Chains A and B, each alone.
Chain A
Amino acid sequence: MSSIHVTAAVNGDPVEFLCQPEETLLDVLRDRLGLTGTKEGCGTGDCGSCSVTLDGRLVCACLVMGAEAEGRQIGTIEGMADGETLHPLQQKFLDHAALQCGICTPGFLIAAKALLEKNPDPTEEEVRYWLAGNLCRCTGYDKIIRAVMDTAEDMRKSNAS
């Protein structure tokens, strides 16, 4: 079976890979590109742990075919921190202890970042609806929601000053 040659950008860096037509973007990220920060939970778009952005749009990487990525911009958890400096959401997740096992965390962070870029001042209800497709089986959602709300407030203050 012939492989498909794909050229794309991941976190701003150009990447090239060969993949089989059946492979998902999640397979490609983890197994071809070695970017294992994006997690596989359900593999059917229900849990959100493989959340990435595709041309800026929040999607589940398990529901995107690898070959679809040709020419696209992909954003993953590996691109979230600026070197050793954590993204404000990452720091707040630590501050609020908004994670335990951590499998859902990259997905929550990517999804929350996409929300705050679209809506810097969300209500708690808006945060809960936006993140409804991200499932957590240990921490529970309250600390996660607090962390996102707290980050949004801090980011608004720092943007205003």
Chain B
Amino acid sequence: MSARDEINSRAVVLGKIRRSLGVTAEDPIRNAAVEARLNRAPKGVIPARGQLDEAGRVALFTKMAEHFAATTENVADAAAVPAAVAAYLRGHNLPAEIRMGEDAVLNAMPWAKTQVDVRHGPSDGHDAVGLSHATGAVAESGTLVLTSGQDNPTTLNFLPETSIVVLEASTVAGDYESIWATLRRRYGKGVLPRTVNMVTGPSRSADIEQKLQLGAHGPRNLHIIIVG
């Protein structure tokens, strides 16, 4: 299809929609209503489940994430993370190697105090373990929120067989709506980074006789280190 054909298709499709609805394009009331709604972005029903204080949200997040087959642990502060990672790798018979992005918080951690070999950048499929720093999480469903970019390349969440995610307790929200507020503050209204991943547990499939199996194409193991 040529560019002109495509412009034509656009006009035809939009025209058909308008004809079916019995409306015109230049209706100021409709236009204003739609624009207002996009600006206002009204919240709908927000489940009571996640409406707890920070300790309650972290506890709920932990419970839900573990229910969906992630593993979790708590550490007091960021400085304790490298040792926790090293212990996890040892405990799971994994080589002492991880890949992470440019994330400032992760890079400021005392990795030199461990034997872990830290590599940087996106994954090319040959990493056993990826380490990411979550933007936040949603207690309501045990869901991590990760955003793309140099800090935490998206491929780290999917290609390695084990994904370890560092999550600050203070960033665990009760509901998805709070996360949108956070992202709008960071990126602006109506703007999102290339990818926002909401991750609930490790990869799985039930396509063979409805039997649940972990490790379909994404990570087989998801380990969450909750800081603070």
Q: Do A and B come from one complex?
A: no
